[in-house]
Structure 1
Amino acid sequence: MITEASSSLDTDARALEQFTSEGVRDLASLPSKADRTTAQIALADGVHHESRRLRARFMAQHADEVYDALTDGRTRRPRISELVLSAAERFPGLVPTADELAAESSLAQQRKEGREIDQGIFFQHVLRHPGAGRHLVDSMLLPTGRALALLPDFRASGSLELGTVRIERRDGIAHVTITNIHCLNAEDNELTADLETAVDLVLLDDGTHVGVLRGGVMTHPRYAGRRVFSAGINLKHLHGGKISFVDFLLGRELGFISKLVRGVLTEDGLGQRIEKPWVAGVDTFAIGGGMQLLLVLDHVVAASDSYLSLPAAQEGIVPGLANLRLTRAVGSRIARQIVLGGRKVWASEQDARLLVDDVADPREMDQAVDRAADVLASPAVAPNRRMLNHADEPVDQFREYMAEFALTQALRLYSADVLGKVARFSA
């Protein structure tokens, strides 16, 4: 057993594997989660509780060593999805294996064992450690392989279709349009991956000076012909178990949103980052994750009939980094009204001026967005926004928040109230 006065990494790793393997056998002897009796549910909960307690103790004592073993002494920079799968192989019992995750991938959220909580424990402790955590944050700023492969085409043509995102460069301005129109631009795994690719391309493209993020035109009968910025997390996908803890809930924060703030990291050995200013054009509404994005962009133009909201507390989950960033923007009292009370903020309200820079007539949004992008195209903007972001959100503050967010969000993802709420939505 791993004690407070731990022995070596390898000794404790063997103890962890032995203890958790017994739990694996106990769980395998039970029916599927939906078919368990009250006594069997209690047995499974006990297995998970004791195994997670040991995992947390192991990581509290060995997080730096574990991270170094998985990154070859921090000479490699794996993304979080690769890192956690490598951890499953190198340290059996620490996090779920690829096979265990695959077995649950087709299950509705309430039918899963909650193995992603073990991933939350892992990332909480890695991110808590300044050395390992900073290395991981920086690693996630590297451009994706997909973006690097597409970059020559984008440089040549100035436009690309990325599935749920369209990107077009016009006069040095890259217009990134969210086109996940079947669900009012709700966020899911695919959109998160496409947005990171688009952000990478904007930042790496020498011909782009400013990025613009806006929602596409809808076909939904209620909003047909109108743009919508974002409907927040796709609750149908959450109910159906299709929202990944690592690739979505952690990946969007450490990936494309962090790149919007800090830029993309180059591999020139100097640790240089390419950063560019961003404009948001908000039509109709920016709900949940959509509103979260506005808190990191440099200039927000909102249609006068649009609104912003963060209903995550009503849904039961944590709204990304809004709990960190929103108070800076609007103050503690209004932040609590928005996050805890679900207050909508209409662009026409006075308080909205703390969240948006310009309020435009809906018929004049295109011109207002273009004007904002032109102002930010000045060469002096990028270095100054870098220093503003450094003052507003130092990397270690971000890292420390993400450490607590990792486990808190994983626990919320499998909490009884969240599972009950998302059950209202069919997959």
Structure 2
Amino acid sequence: MTPTNALDRIGTLAADSAVTELASGSARLAEVAGRVDELLLSLPDPADRSPLQQEQAATAKDAARGLRSRFLAVHTEAVYDTLTDGRRARPRIADLVAVGPAAFPGLLPTADQLSADRARVQSGKEGHEIDQGIFVGRLLGSPEAGRHLLESMLLPTGRALALLPDFQRTGRVELHSVLLERRDGVAHLTMTRDDCLNAEDDQQVEDMETAVDLVLLDPAVRVGVLRGGLMTHPRYRDRRVFSAGINLKSLHAGQISLIDFLLRRELGYINKIVRGLLTDEHSWRRRTVEKPWVAAVDTFAIGGGCQLLLVFDRVIAAADSFLSLPAAQEGIVPGAANLRLGRMAGGRLNRQLLLWGRKIWAPELHARLFVDEVVDPADMDGAVELSAERLDGPAVVTNRRMLHLAEESPEAFRAYAAEFALQQALRLYSEDVITKAGRFSAGIRADA
């Protein structure tokens, strides 16, 4: 069958498919997805396709995605209940997208498809993660399934549980990109990616979630502090840097994933900083463990680094540092910053940051919307110590919980996360993002 005939058949099957019944709808989805896979395999690799072949592939994938979306609009809860044993199990997002292809063929990309894409640079991928974005977005969009899934993402990771006894004994854990040290009831998380100015990738997100879990699990820790370590990059050698945001070199190389970076970051460790760790889901008194957090900004907090500041209880910045959130320049959605900036900065400043790429230097008046205290770089250590001491109290924990409930309800976050999952997946494969990532990939990002 020629690509044109195959495409016509896919379009007809997808358009005519009834999805009101779970079994028949699932079977038709599997048939359509199988035909799309056959068509894609008949074409050259994505990077080698002609404009006509690119159009044929895009049309086929769009037909299947429309059918997936319609299927999930009707059967989201049934799919989720199947994958979670009636919600008795609490798999994470990564677990769901891993087991989903076997339970519902054609609904999600297979491990082999994802592995093939992972080996390609971002511009040469098939874009299977968009199908994951459709799936996760629909799950989070369901009040019942979405609430259950978000709670599941607040559970401690297996890696953290395995490391906990050693951390409690020694007060120190050294991960690939984070050093965690406990001193006098304060856990100091130091981001140590000195080679890339603490630019985030999949590994750093995993390490950060592990470290945040350990802080929240260890009863001997009462306050958490996040700070960047000393750099070896020539431009910033021997200076502390908070974060350069997403690692654009990794993005260009195709090593930034939707599930393990973009979604895990927001729904994993950042959400745990905000809402705590789910440790006893049946408790009437307190289901989560929460602790106050301090962020210390040296040199700059760009992009994702600036996003982090929006969830900390106290932020200290060196007088020679700056903040920026250049979402439009990078091309991706800056996590939950669009949700949180409004209550801190207001509409005009939000747009200057997100759409115009404005830098805000710590001494500026507008910086006080994001930063509690600006100190001389030489005084940062003392300011961090004093802030941690002031936040060390049980009433602080209770009041920060009530503040978060008033400022950002779990339902508001769920609704935002549902749309974020889809839009970020689409942005990840958009032409402008791929072009910009390639431009920045050769070295340090332009705004650092």
TM-score, length-normalised on structure 2? 0.94
User: Does residue 344 of the first structure (1) align with residue 332 of the second (2)?
Assistant: no
Give, in whole Å, the separation in 2 of the partners of 1:241 and 1:401: 26
User: Does residue 146 of the first structure (1) align with residue 125 of the second (2)?
Assistant: no
Q: In the alignment, is the contact (CA less than 8 A) between 1:240 and 1:426 conserved in 2?
A: no
User: Does residue 334 of the first structure (1) align with residue 349 of the second (2)?
Assistant: yes
1:64 aligned residue:
77
1:127 aligned residue:
140
Give, in whole Å, the separation in 2 of the partners of 1:187 and 1:312: 15
| Residue type at the aligned position of 1:220 | H
Give, in whole Å, the separation in 2 of the partners of 1:36 and 1:6: 33
2:4 aligned residue:
none
Give, in whole Å, the separation in 2 of the partners of 1:342 and 1:47: 37
Give, in whole Å, the separation in 2 of the partners of 1:7 and 1:223: 59
Per the TM alignment, residue 6 of structure 1 is displaced from its structure 2 partner at its CA by: 3.7
CA deviations 1:261-287 (Å, max 9, x no partner) are 000001463271000000000000000
Mapping 1:187-198, distance limit 5 Å? 187-198=200-211
1:276 aligned residue:
291
| Residue type at the aligned position of 1:356 | V
Mapping 1:22-171, distance limit 5 Å? 22-171=35-184
1:172 aligned residue:
185
User: Does residue 226 of the first structure (1) align with residue 239 of the second (2)?
Assistant: yes
* Stretch of structure 1 that moved more, 34-43 or 381-390: 34-43
SS of the residue corresponding to residue 175 of structure 1 reads strand
1:382 aligned residue:
397
Per the TM alignment, residue 8 of structure 1 is displaced from its structure 2 partner at its CA by: 2.0
CA deviations 1:33-79 (Å, max 9, x no partner) are 11111211111011111011101101111111100000000000101
% identical equivalent positions = 59
CA deviations 1:310-368 (Å, max 9, x no partner) are 11210111100000101110111101110111111110100001100000100000000
Give, in whole Å, the separation in 2 of the partners of 1:131 and 1:242: 32
Q: 1:393 aligns with which of 402, 405, 408?
A: 408
| Residue type at the aligned position of 2:396 | V
SS of the residue corresponding to residue 183 of structure 1 reads coil
Give, in whole Å, the separation in 2 of the partners of 1:15 and 1:289: 41
| Residue type at the aligned position of 1:195 | M
Give, in whole Å, the separation in 2 of the partners of 1:385 and 1:167: 23
Give, in whole Å, the separation in 2 of the partners of 1:257 and 1:4: 40
| Residue type at the aligned position of 2:68 | R
| Residue type at the aligned position of 2:166 | D
Q: In the alignment, is the contact (CA less than 8 A) between 1:239 and 1:426 conserved in 2?
A: no
2:6 aligned residue:
none
| Residue type at the aligned position of 1:226 | R
2:388 aligned residue:
373
Per the TM alignment, residue 426 of structure 1 is displaced from its structure 2 partner at its CA by: 4.5
TM-score, length-normalised on structure 1? 0.98
Q: 2:369 aligns with which of 335, 354, 358?
A: 354
Per the TM alignment, residue 257 of structure 1 is displaced from its structure 2 partner at its CA by: 0.3
Q: How many residues align?
A: 427
| Residue type at the aligned position of 2:34 | S
2:317 aligned residue:
302
User: Does residue 314 of the first structure (1) align with residue 318 of the second (2)?
Assistant: no
Per the TM alignment, residue 117 of structure 1 is displaced from its structure 2 partner at its CA by: 0.3
